[in-house]
Amino acid sequence: MALLISTGVLVVAAMVSIVINRRWLPRLSVNYVSMFIGAGIAVIPFLNGLIEKFNSDIFIGLIVAPLLYFEGQNTRLNLVGRHVR
């Protein structure tokens, strides 16, 4: 349940950063706005308590593995010089 709450807080923070970027700071990169909001979450003890500690196994399983899978699906194999039967 804690992982779900943590994910929800981070998704809401990402949506807020996009809205702030598009409405009030269109010339500033959304990455900078996201970093400022993330720093704000880290400074506020209540919000920081909602975020789970970083777990590399979860990151690899839920983020990296699907990205690699979909990247592999979109990759063309170069078969020049091979005889395919």
Q: How confident is the model at residue 49 (pLDDT cuts 50, 70, 90)?
A: confident
Percent of the chain residues topping a pLDDT of 90: 24
User: DSSP 3-state assignment of 76?
Assistant: coil
User: 66 pLDDT exceeds 80?
Assistant: yes
pLDDT, tens digit, 9 for 90 and up, residues 10-22: 889 999 999 999 9
- Cα of first residue to Cα of last residue in the chain, in angstroms, is 51
| CA distance linking residue 58 with residue 1, whole number of Å | 14
The closest alpha carbon to 3, from 43, 78, 63, belongs to 63
User: DSSP 3-state assignment of 71?
Assistant: helix
pTM over 0.85: no
Query: What's the pLDDT score for residue 68?
Result: 87
